[in-house]
Chains A and B, each alone.
Chain A
């Protein structure tokens, strides 16, 4: 089975712009979660989608949004970029996302640099 894929792998944007990142989960996985990784804050949960619905949300401003499509692929969007949004954005998929026992499998990440 192919793993989680994320595109693009690298992005450079300027302040004020917006960006869309894409994630394709492992085949058969229906839950997709997004995490932000920065040197200062570490790995932080952004949100989780299941069956095209946002099920959980982390503590991030409304500039961060996402969606999930019927094929379980997910996108996240960041509007009005700030310098502090520079980070590695990781997507993870699991089968149903229900219950703490499920393992999340991560993609390679999208490295975003905001200038």
Chain B
């Protein structure tokens, strides 16, 4: 079975601090994709990044960076110099052929940036 674990339920940091959101996944499939979504209070899930199982290169996009490590089945997300607008719930998700191609989500991490 597929599973995504986000052990951090809630995190609060002071603005401008760096913060890392953890994501650990389980799948039997060798080909899979990992995603991060952001859910602001409005409710819409906003796509942030997609990473395939064969590409372990870290990715940086502005203040956001992602660290994918197959050896530990983790796909962690770091926000550098956090801002109040980063306050949201962040979801890590997994999609593979084994899972009938549906997205399996973690339980989410609520991030609060304190001004």
Which residues of A line the B interface, CB within 8 A? 33, 35, 42-43, 45, 48, 56, 58, 88, 90, 92, 97-101, 103-109, 111
B50 is contacted by which of A48, A101, A109 (Cβ under 8 Å)? A101
Write the B29-41 contact mask toward A (1 if CB under 8 angstroms, else 0).
1011101010000
In the complex, A12→B29 CA distance in Å? 41
Contacts of B37 in A (CB 8 A): 106
**Given A45-B103, A99-B97, A109-B44, 16 additional A-B pairs, CB 8 A:** A35-B103, A42-B106, A42-B107, A43-B103, A45-B102, A48-B101, A48-B102, A88-B43, A92-B45, A100-B29, A100-B33, A101-B50, A101-B52, A106-B46, A106-B47, A108-B44
Residues of B near A107 (CB, < 8 A) are 44
Whether B107 contacts A100 by the Cβ 8 Å rule is no
Question: Which A residues are in CB contact (< 8 Å) with B96?
Answer: 100
- A100:B31 contact, CB within 8 angstroms: yes
Give chain A's interface secondary structure class: strand
Known A43-B91, A56-B102: A100·B47 in contact at CB below 8 Å: no
Nearest chain-A residue to B93 (Cβ)? A43
- Tell me the minimal C-beta distance from B53 to chain A in angstroms: 9
Quick check: A42 and B101 within 8 Å, CB to CB? no
CB within 8 Å of A: which of B1-54? Answer: 29, 31-33, 35, 37, 42-47, 50, 52
Interface residues of B in 75-95 (CB under 8 A from A): 91, 95
B91 contacts across to A, CB distance below 8 A:
43
Is A100 in contact with B97, judged by CB distance below 8 angstroms? yes
**Complex-state Cα separation, A103 to B101, whole angstroms:** 11
Residues of A within 8 A of B57 (CB): none
Whether B101 contacts A105 by the Cβ 8 Å rule is no
Between-chain CB contacts (< 8 Å), 25 pairs: A33-B102, A33-B103, A42-B105, A43-B91, A43-B105, A43-B108, A45-B104, A56-B101, A88-B43, A90-B43, A97-B101, A99-B101, A100-B32, A100-B96, A100-B101, A101-B33, A103-B35, A103-B50, A104-B47, A106-B44, A106-B47, A108-B43, A109-B43, A109-B44, A111-B43
